[in-house]
Amino acid sequence: MEQAVLTSLDPLIGALREHGYAVVGPTVRDGVIRFCELGSAADLPAGWTDEQAPGAYRLREGGEPVFGFAASPDSVKRFTHPPRSTLFRMRDGVPEAVPVEAPKVALLGVRACDLAGLAVQDRVFLGGRYPDEAYRARRAALFLIAVNCAVPGGTCFCASMNTGPRATSGFDLALTELTGPHRFLAESGSERGATLLEALPSRPATDADRQAARQVSETAEQRMGRHVELDGVKERLTERRESPVWNEIASRCLTCANCTMVCPTCFCATIEDGTDLADGSASRAERWDSCFTLEFTELGGAPVRSSGAARYRQWLTHKFSTWVDQFGTYGCVGCGRCITWCPTGIDITEELERLR
């Protein structure tokens, strides 16, 4: 592991571009801090922060930090598991392979929870008997620069899920933003990360830098907006199958699927077949789907999970119970997006507590 102190991120962005990466990171757009392609470090949201609560996100003017905000509205799964991708085409009954689009993208500013989400998706897409080669190609095309979280949001609970706030693996480079003077402690997590770091203008890290970085993560850990008690949750959810709580949650649930769309681990997709009027070809595409839609469980013309209660129960039980059976980890990384972006503010940490 290489460590060094950077005073500007522009040389890093420049070097990544020279290596052929599109550099994607947080910027203020559409009234939120979201991931977009960056031109330079000036596009980063210096002086901005966010406030997150159940069903509510507000952009606010912040202090000096460049990365003084919590989880972005959208998860990074868009880059590994895109909302829609064509699987193959057929022309005159003959299948044609469609090349996988796997552009080189450097994600600057991913959080520990984002990395944990990628690790969960790796198990889902690559861990079984039928690995998803398109996912593998897109995943390999990513260069990951983590930023250790200093300001967790009101809906964050990565500390409970043991996934953050400090990034410990799964990155090429990890930065901790330090103040007084403003600087970044950078550490490499891969060989290519170390090579890149060595080529950047920097000074060696001191014990004081390392101590300050540890302090950032320790403070962040104390500032989690939410908490989940994992002890016994897997067994408990199975036992609560007939709980009246599910119906009560359903009275507030819109079955709109926002939670699953913004979730960094939700991977469900459906297959859509189409025909092209112009050239007579047929194509098969994969599209994000959700356990909250009726068509998702349609069998023989009728949905298996027709009630909102059955759909919410499926989702929450999968995340904290059956996911463990299936993949050996929880399906939740504690990013809090499903809480912030639920239009009616349903809070999974609160619901888990009520289901105790």
Partner 1 sequence: MSRLAVWKFASCDGCQLTLLDCEDELLSVAAQVDIAYFLEASSDRGAGPYDLSLVEGSITTPDDLERIKHVRRVSKHLVTIGACATAGGVQALRDLADVREFAAVVYARPDYIRTLDRSTPVSAHVPVDFELRGCPIDRGQLLEIIGAFLAGRRPVVPAHSVCVECKARGNPCVLAAHGTPCLGPVTQAGCGALCPAFNRGCFGCFGPMESPNAAALNARLRAAGMDDDELGRVYRTFNVTTFGSSSDA
Q: Can you tell me which of 218, 276, 325, 353 binds partner 1, judged by CB under 8 A? A: 276
Place of tokens 């050239």: 279
Confirm or reject binding of residue 107 to partner 1 (CB under 8 A): no
Confirm or reject binding of residue 343 to partner 1 (CB under 8 A): yes
Confirm or reject binding of residue 49 to partner 1 (CB under 8 A): no
Residue 19: what residue type? H
Question: Which residues fall within 8 angstroms of residue 237, CB to CB, at 6 or more apart?
Answer: 316, 317, 320, 321, 355
Q: Which is nearer to partner 1, 108 or 338 (CB)?
A: 338
E strands, the chain, are: 3-6, 22-29, 32-37, 48-53, 56-61, 84-91, 94-97, 105-110, 142-147, 173-178, 183-188, 203-204, 269-275, 282-288, 298-299, 302-303
Cβ 218 to partner 1, closest distance in Å?
A: 30
Range in contact with partner 1 (rule: CB under 8 A) among 132-140, 181-189, 292-300, 348-356: 292-300
Confirm or reject binding of residue 195 to partner 1 (CB under 8 A): no
Q: Which is nearer to partner 1, 183 or 337 (CB)?
A: 337
* Partners of 274 in beta bridges: 283
Distance CA 171, CA 148 (A): 11
The residues in 212-241 that bind partner 1, with binding defined as CB under 8 A, are none
Cβ 131 to partner 1, closest distance in Å?
A: 24
Cβ 8 to partner 1, closest distance in Å?
A: 29
Two structure tokens written together for 241 = 């199958």
Two structure tokens written together for 261 = 């769309």
Give the burial string for 227-256 (b: 16+ CB within 10 Å, else e): ebeeeebbebbeebeebeebeebbeebebe
Question: Which residues fall within 8 angstroms of residue 271, CB to CB, at 6 or more apart?
Answer: 87, 284, 285, 286, 287
Residue 234: what residue type? K
Confirm or reject binding of residue 95 to partner 1 (CB under 8 A): no
CB atoms within 10 A of CB 164: 29
Cβ 276 to partner 1, closest distance in Å?
A: 7
Confirm or reject binding of residue 62 to partner 1 (CB under 8 A): no
Confirm or reject binding of residue 34 to partner 1 (CB under 8 A): yes
Confirm or reject binding of residue 22 to partner 1 (CB under 8 A): no
Distance CA 204, CA 11 (A): 16
Confirm or reject binding of residue 58 to partner 1 (CB under 8 A): yes
Q: Can you tell me which of 11, 14, 62, 73 binds partner 1, judged by CB under 8 A? A: 73
Confirm or reject binding of residue 256 to partner 1 (CB under 8 A): yes
Q: Which is nearer to partner 1, 212 or 254 (CB)?
A: 254
Q: Which is nearer to partner 1, 27 or 202 (CB)?
A: 27
Two structure tokens written together for 163 = 């996934």
Range in contact with partner 1 (rule: CB under 8 A) among 122-130, 175-183, 227-235, 288-296: 288-296
Q: Can you tell me which of 176, 188, 293, 314 binds partner 1, judged by CB under 8 A? A: 293
**Interacting residues with partner 1 (CB under 8 A):** 30-32, 34, 55-59, 73-74, 78, 83-84, 251-258, 261-262, 272-278, 282, 287-290, 292-295, 306, 308, 340-345
